[in-house]
Amino acid sequence: MKSDAEVSSMSHVVERADSPIVETRGLFRLYGETQQVRALAGVDLVVMPGEFAAVAGPSGSGKTTLFNLIGGLDQPTSGEVIVGGRSLGGMKRHELSRLRLERIGFVFQAYNLIPVLTAWENVEYPLILRKLPASQRRQKTAEVLTAVGLGDMMHRFPNQLSGGQQQRVAIARALVTEPVIVLADEPTANLDSETGRALLDLMKQLNLEKGLTFLFSTHDPMVMAAAGRLIRLKDGKIDSDTAQR
């Protein structure tokens, strides 16, 4: 993990504010036509800036559906999702794509790196989509790769990196656009416990140093224990919502 000074060298990721980063109001999601399955059943959730929160629950509890709705990858049957002060309801496809590109960082269980691109190119790619000048892209890409401990591995391809290193690239890619929130879907699931702990410590340090907001979907007891807030879903509803430490 990088030192405090190295992490602090990154530009500020989010601005602290009193308004929610994410808010869901009366969120329902039904699937199917003749025999409907209720994936979410009236979820009200508020995530404030700087939180390090985890959503836990058994398979089928609604975690993936909730994250897909927050990330604008799916639409609710009813209810509202607000991200960074903007309601996702009624947004057109290109507007949702822009929101994801500029406001939401994603870290996936399977890394989702582009295999033919180097670590540097994977991280730089969202900035190319945003049409940032080359000088800004170089600066931002170098900063985040250094902050996640890959300063000397920037030009390696994913198959030349360990699982933990690939996940660090994924974290760097999520951070490079300076999102208002990072949605991390089971980020430690494919890692051994030592590597998972190191990655979790890195994300916690970024949260503490930069106020970056993290929302995890997880089955991992280690992630649940590290979270400052634990939200448990059951049968598409929030079963408990507890502040920790």
Give the pLDDT score at 187.
Answer: 86
**For the chain, what percent of residues have pLDDT higher than 70?**
93
pLDDT tens-place string over residues 21-39: 999 999 999 998 777 889 9
Mean pLDDT of 199-208: 88
What was the pLDDT predicted at 241? 95
**CA–CA distance, 186 with 217 (Å, rounded to integer):** 6
- The superfamily CATH assigns to domain 4-18+47-73+100-240 is P-loop containing nucleotide triphosphate hydrolases (3.40.50.300)
Q: Tell me the pTM.
A: 0.86
Label residue 58 by pLDDT band (50, 70, 90). Answer: confident
Q: Each residue of 63-83: pLDDT tens digit?
A: 989 999 999 999 999 999 999
